[in-house]
Structure 1
């Protein structure tokens, strides 16, 4: 049985920057960005972007979109080099992962863009890793490609877990249980139409 190893972070960085450049140059990229940035109340998640200190969706959406796109390009580069979907699910930070969900929820646009670029985008929720750590593989590849990732969005796993604990307590005080998967709110009688 052959074991495939992760490619060097430098090699992944070079390819990821090429992929990013090609995606951003695509004729449908503006429509893809606009659709992904329509990150409104329909996308509310209790455990993704809320771990960002003083998060403001209006101000944070565009920079978070850039980080999500970079993360998808890193994953695509790993997949292209290794051919291994599981290996391509490199660790990314929780808020960045949440933004990638908004991006892959634009399937027609993303499929057409990636077909023209010739690179598949890899993401499967049950295989994703949101245990991003400073100085880990993803951080190294990111650094080679674009410099230091913004700490506001690339929150180290241990700090992310601490912040999730804070949020969990606040949510439970407000009657939201299991990180928003259940609540104790009784809406009473419906209003007649």
Structure 2
């Protein structure tokens, strides 16, 4: 893997290019508007006292930084698998909302020759604050916000707690199934 300093340098440049693009504001607005579809039971809800209105904008910034780090690794290595560096679960969830704005994101990245890497079956959400991603992030922007950059062990603990709560209202497998019977529509 490239040195964290080289990744950080590239990520800072990628982030600046994205933010300076004439369509960036539209991309940001579209990503944040995606909120009506943010119904994941195990991504955002692991954030303590999650509140969409309060957390969406700062989490967008973290998702953007994560994509910039991944793009930088890819630019330095040319390796898509290497670029799938570990990302914290809530941050990864936000990148999904961002990637859903595919036309805008494609136009922005194409203008600047940036390759955004994300493939669900290749992603790594086992982020740890003592790992490579955290080292790269710290060099680029300082300490990752612990509210969103949760260690994998803490995410696992919180998901187990949430699963118990979901089970108590009839939702199994953390929202992947339920035993709720709805009234027949007349």
Tell me the residue number matched to 1:54. Answer: 49
The alignment covers a number of residue pairs equal to 186
Matched position secondary structure for 1:40: helix
Matches for 1:170-189 after TM superposition, within 5 Å = 170-189=165-184
Tell me the residue number matched to 1:37. Answer: 32
Could you tell me how far apart the structure 2 residues matched to 1:86 and 1:95 are? 21
Please give the TM-score of this superposition, normalised by the length of structure 1.
Answer: 0.95
1:78 to 52, 56, 73: 73
Determine whether 1:26 maps to 2:43: no
CA contact (8 A) 1:39 1:61 kept: no
Could you tell me how far apart the structure 1 residues matched to 2:72 and 2:30 are? 24
Please give the TM-score of this superposition, normalised by the length of structure 2.
Answer: 0.99
Could you tell me how far apart the structure 2 residues matched to 1:132 and 1:22 are? 26
Could you tell me how far apart the structure 2 residues matched to 1:134 and 1:42 are? 29
Q: Please, which runs of 5 or more residues in structure 2 have no aligned partner? A: none
Could you tell me how far apart the structure 1 residues matched to 2:130 and 2:124 are? 16
Could you tell me how far apart the structure 1 residues matched to 2:160 and 2:3 are? 35
Matched position secondary structure for 1:38: helix
1:52-104 Cα shifts (integer Å, max 9, x gaps): 00000000000000000000000000011101101100000000000000000
Matches for 1:31-180 after TM superposition, within 5 Å = 31-180=26-175
1:134-155 Cα shifts (integer Å, max 9, x gaps): 1100000000000001000000
Determine whether 1:9 maps to 2:4: yes
Q: Please, which runs of 5 or more residues in structure 1 have no aligned partner? A: 1-5
Q: CA deviation at 1:41?
A: 3.0
Could you tell me how far apart the structure 1 residues matched to 2:62 and 2:41 are? 20
Q: CA deviation at 1:114?
A: 0.1
Matched position secondary structure for 2:34: coil
Q: CA deviation at 1:190?
A: 1.3
Alpha-carbon RMSD across the aligned residues, in angstroms, is: 0.7
